[in-house]
Amino acid sequence: MKHIFVINPAAGKTNATETLLPRLHALFVGREEELETYLTTGVGDATRFVKERCAASNGEHLRFYSCGGDGTMNEVLQGLAGCANAAMGVVPCGSGNDFVRSFPDCDFSNLEAQIAAEERPIDLIHFNNQWSANICSAGLDSDVCKKMARYKRLPLVTGSGAYILALISTFFSPMGKQAHIV
């Protein structure tokens, strides 16, 4: 099995690459051929990379690890959806990490455990030709998440602080959306 860590250097307040890469190389000493890392370069890059890597796998089992926040995880999920020989792990390096919070008894930062873990299926949501692993938002919540990116880069603002600032900003903005539901 190939362990592929898709790392988003722009996720969260600090670049996790500097601490994550040395940990990964130490964990794979003596079995370097099982490890692959990829640093994303912008929006949509993780999806593109994962799709291309799945297409070139020749049936080899791939386990992708989303190293970033919910946006990175979403991109990795879009890339591997429909690939029968691929699975996904999550290494939380983002601001919100909402998916990880859905599993309070799991330590997603324990890389050794994730690498050795047995894979388990989860339910997915398919909406507007996109896949979602834990939540599909519309209206107020999606507006808050969109604005949160602006606030998370401010000094001394944590992920939850950015969410609160975005919530306040959204609450005092014009509300209402038009939607067509089928």
Mean residue pLDDT of the chain comes to 87
pLDDT class for 45, splitting at 50, 70, 90? Answer: very high
In SS3 terms, 80-135 reads as HCCCCCEEEEEEECCCCCHHHHCCCCCCCCCHHHHHHCCCCCCCCEEECCEEECCC
**pLDDT in the model for residue 17:** 86
| For residues 22-36, average pLDDT | 94
CA atoms 121, 138, 46, 114: torsion sign: negative
Digit-coded pLDDT (tens) for 52-77: 999 999 989 999 999 998 889 999 99
- pLDDT of the residue at 125: 85
Average pLDDT (23-35) is: 94
Q: What is the pLDDT of residues 133-175, one digit of tens each?
A: 877 667 777 788 778 777 877 888 776 788 888 888 888 888 7
CA–CA gap between residue 129 and residue 143 (Å, rounded): 20
* 77 in Cβ contact with 126 (< 8 Å): no
Question: Is 26 exposed, middle or buried, given 0-12, 13-18 or 19+ CB atoms closer than 10 A?
Answer: exposed
Its pTM stands at 0.80
- The pLDDT assigned to 88 comes to 95
**pLDDT > 90? residue 178:** no
Beta-carbon neighbour count of residue 104 at 10 Å?
Answer: 6
What residues contact residue 137 under an 8 Å CB cut-off, 6+ apart? 145
Neighbours of 134 (CB within 10 A): 17
Q: Strands 62-68 and 35-39, how do they pair? A: unpaired
Model confidence at 95, pLDDT cuts 50, 70, 90, reads confident
First to last CA, the chain: 41
What is the model's pLDDT at position 87? 95
